[in-house]
Amino acid sequence: MARISRTLLIFGGFVAVVGAAFYPIYFRPLLQVEQYSEYGPPLPAEPVDVSPVGCHVPTPGTPVL
């Protein structure tokens, strides 16, 4: 019985540590919307051409050679 209690205590402590780490990152902004609403949604990033030099990578809207 002591072995089960010790295992539950270890897993419960792990869950508590993970919950304490995620509270300010995820749950606090969900609970206090008026404080975080001034930031707004993130702006979409501009597309960046990441194809290697001299290599044609077809993208939607361009003809395939």
Structural domain contains residue 63: no
pLDDT at 10: 96
User: pLDDT tens across 2-29, in order?
Assistant: 899 999 999 999 999 999 998 888 888 8
Structural domain contains residue 25: yes
Structural domain contains residue 30: yes
Residue-range definition of the domain harbouring residue 7: 2-36
pLDDT at 39 over 80: no
Model confidence, pTM: 0.47
Which 3-state string (H, E, C) describes 42-61? CCCCCCCCCCCCCCCCCCCC
Structural domain contains residue 50: no
pLDDT at 56 over 80: no
Structural domain contains residue 16: yes
pLDDT at 44: 75
